[in-house]
């Protein structure tokens, strides 16, 4: 990506896309080149892909499959690797929130799906991230009394704990951390999900069991081990800190010391 520059007259840009195309899981893929002669700097990256798909439809060709939902940086669906970086070149920005004004007339952009064994490609730029859903489900329930809504001040939460829990809860489950990690480790995601409950009083009853079960599920899904490259934190659009991983490691170790006899031993955490 060069310093942004647009056509002085129209403000429009000519963009060449090198896009990964793959008909389905376990099918060979290839890079396809497409030229867009009229890209507005005001478009989002996904709107630019919409324009490409409209042109493909008009030509009777198969559209490029890519995942998206909210297009507001909330849902975590937009799993694109743009010029070798999960979610693209802008820090703390999801692919759907990246705008074409960051590009220049004449730029060539490479677009691929997230790469990790646990995220198999479904088609083109879409990957299956249901492994994350299974990890969340392994975390299980949170004990909560039934009956009428409790008073808001019945359980006091220290402000620093509430802030850290809220920071961890900002994780949108996008998977960029695993896609950016050379080991395809999902530790940052799992640590964020463990931390946001472990920091709150409501998360204490199942705290140890939750950490063990989610780490075990992560290992079962085939994610790699964390070897402290910290690429996850650099790629994370929500600024989740690797401090969460340290906190989860501590919970995991303490849980083993206490007990969890019905869960298997051995994991990528250590
Ligand atoms: S930790 Fe960050 S990169 Fe990983 S899933 Fe959550 S939001 Fe995405
Ligand atoms: S489409 Fe929802 S975060 Fe990008």
Enumerate domains of the chain plus CATH numbers: 13-123 (3.10.20.30), 129-143+156-258 (1.10.1060.10)
Binned at pLDDT 50, 70 and 90, residue 11 comes out as: confident
How far does the centroid of ligand 2 lie from the alpha carbon of residue 97, in Å?
Answer: 8
Q: What is the pTM of this model?
A: 0.91
Please say if the pLDDT value at position 270 is more than 50: no
Question: For the segment 121-174, what is each residue's pLDDT rounded down to a tens digit?
Answer: 999 999 999 999 999 999 998 887 788 888 878 889 999 999 999 999 999 999
How far does the centroid of ligand 1 lie from the alpha carbon of residue 152, in Å?
Answer: 30
Q: What is the pLDDT of residue 263?
A: 54
Q: What is the arithmetic mean of pLDDT over 106-121? A: 97
Separation between Cα atoms, residue 10 and residue 13, nearest integer Å: 9
Which protein residue has the closest C-alpha to ligand 1 atom 6? 171
Cα dihedral 114, 119, 121, 125, rounded to 10, equals: -30
Please say if the pLDDT value at position 267 is more than 70: no
Q: Count of alpha carbons within 13 Å of 247, Cβ hemisphere only?
A: 22
Which protein residue has the closest C-alpha to ligand 1 atom 2? 236
Q: Is the CB of 175 under 6 A from ligand 1?
A: yes
Q: Is the CB of 185 under 6 A from ligand 2?
A: no
Which protein residue has the closest C-alpha to ligand 1 atom 7? 171
Secondary structure of residue 45 in the 3-state scheme: helix
Secondary structure of residue 180 in the 3-state scheme: helix
């Amino acid at each position: 990506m060069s310093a942004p520059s647009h056509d002085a007259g129209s403000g429009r840009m000519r963009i060449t896309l090198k896009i990964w195309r793959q008909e389905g899981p376990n099918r060979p893929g290839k890079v396809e080149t497409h030229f867009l002669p009229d890209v507005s700097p005001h478009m989002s990256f996904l709107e630019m892909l919409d324009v490409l798909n409209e042109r493909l439809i008009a030509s009777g060709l198969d559209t490029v499959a890519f995942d998206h939902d909210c297009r507001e940086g909330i849902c975590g669906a937009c799993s694109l690797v743009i010029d070798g970086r999960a979610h693209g070149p802008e820090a703390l920005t999801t692919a759907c929130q990246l705008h074409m004004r960051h590009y220049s007339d004449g730029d060539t952009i490479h677009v691929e799906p997230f790469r990790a064994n646990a995220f198999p490609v479904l088609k083109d730029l879409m990957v299956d991230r249901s492994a994350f859903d299974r990890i969340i489900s392994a975390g299980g329930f949170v004990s909560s009394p039934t009956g009428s809504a409790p008073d808001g001040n019945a359980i006091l939460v220290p402000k620093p704990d509430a802030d850290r829990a809220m920071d961890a809860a900002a994780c949108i489950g996008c998977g960029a951390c695993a896609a950016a990690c050379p080991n395809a480790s999902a530790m940052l995601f799992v640590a964020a999900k463990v931390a946001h409950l472990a920091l709150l009083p409501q998360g204490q009853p199942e705290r140890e069991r939750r950490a063990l079960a989610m780490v075990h599920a992560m290992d079962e899904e085939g994610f790699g081990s964390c070897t402290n490259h910290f690429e996850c934190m650099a790629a994370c659009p929500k600024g989740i800190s690797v401090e969460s991983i340290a906190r989860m490691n501590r919970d995991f170790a303490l849980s083993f010391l206490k007990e969890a006899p019905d869960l298997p031993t051995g994991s990528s955490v250590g």
